[in-house]
Amino acid sequence: MGGLLVAIILLGVLIFIHELGHFLAARMLGVGVERFSIGFGPKLWSVKRGDTEYVLALVPLGGYVKLLGEDPEEAVEEVDRERSFSHKPLWVRTTVVAAGPFFNLLFAVVVMTGVYLWGVPILKPVVGQVVAGSPAERAGLKAGDFIVSIEGKKIESWGDLAAVVQKNPGKPLKVVVKREGEQVTLTVVPKPQEARTIFGEKRIVGKVGIVAAGTYRIERANPFMALVRGVEYTVNMVYLTLVGIVKILQRVVPAKSVGGPILIVQMASKQVKSGLINLLTFMAFISINLGIINLFPIPILDGGHLLFFTIEGVRGKPVSTRTREVAQQVGLAIIIAIMVLAFYNDIGRLIGRGK
């Protein structure tokens, strides 16, 4: 139940951020906003301020901003024509639509900047256990050794250590360790082993047979570096998300990996137990995914509208109403199919876990 509540709050915040992007861009560019709704279905709460009605609805799986004159066929009084979305220049309409996904990406940068300012736990490169008969044991590594450097490269975390070892299967590596206050130089040859990437692809990596001691340090960044790392995290996650989508289409990653709201609830529950930093990082990751998905060139999504605007810019005139209607029906069918797949996979995971 706790995971469900956290997931609802998390999705609510991200939906609010997304719609806030549309709302603020519309207001700044002189487009009238008739309704700002978080959720769909029956109203739980609403209030009207100026020309805009603010709504909290029953189903928390989305939201929308209703713009004045959003439908080109909608009748708009002459006095409101100047604030009508459909009567605005192409660049204004494009900016208003793109602002939603942009705010999701910007939110991820802000959240991760805060995370790096607060401090993230870094697993120290301290050996906790050496596997019997492993390359590490043959090289003379012992429990308690602090890895200082490998091949002259300074090692500051267990992640640094793993990255160097995995990239050098079968290659002798000069390892400097701190042991009982003294530095000792050893040579270890990582054993080539088959492993899988985060996308399930096979690859050969190096393994030496050591287990981390499990000791951490907290690393805090100054404001500038926190911002830089926040941007880096967001860019890296955008790249990995896009690569993952391509690999699903290529069937490298199975379609069963696609998840929906149930999976988000399960993951949110785990992140709550892991601490605030993990939960905030998870929120940033979901925000990035929400922004990217909304940029898909599928009618009814923001990306679909941007596609229509691109065609309009090339042709010099808007796409016909009939074409938009047919495209939106196809887009709706695609979204429903994806949602059905996601729920099917989520339910399959629940059933599988219960066996």
Residues carrying an active site annotation: 19
Strands 191-196 and 153-154, sheet pairing: unpaired
Distance CA 270, CA 263 (A): 11
CA distances, 189 to each of 104, 124, 165, 177, 195 (Å):
45, 22, 9, 15, 17
Q: What is the 3-state secondary structure (H, E, C) of the chain?
A: CHHHHHHHHHHHHHHHHHHHHHHHHHHHCCCCEEEEEEEEEEEEEEEEECCEEEEEEEEEEEEEEEECCCCCCCCCCHHHHHHCHHHCCHHHHHHHHHHHHHHHHHHHHHHHHHHHHHCEEEECCEEEEECCCCHHHHHCCCCCCEEEEECCEECCCHHHHHHHHHCCCCCCEEEEEEECCEEEEEEECCEEEEEECCCCCEEEEEECCEEECCCEEEECCCHHHHHHHHHHHHHHHHHHHHHHHHHHHCCCCCHHHCCCHHHHHHHHHHHHHHCHHHHHHHHHHHHHHHHHHHCCCCCCCHHHHHHHHHHHHHHCCCCCHHHHHHHHHHHHHHHHHHHHHHHHHHHHHHHHHHC
Q: How many CB atoms lie within 10 A of CB 102?
A: 19
CB-based contact 55:37 (threshold 8 Å): yes
HSE of 220, CA atoms in CB hemisphere, 13 A: 5
Our CA dihedral for 236, 240, 246, 250, rounded to 10 degrees, sits at 150
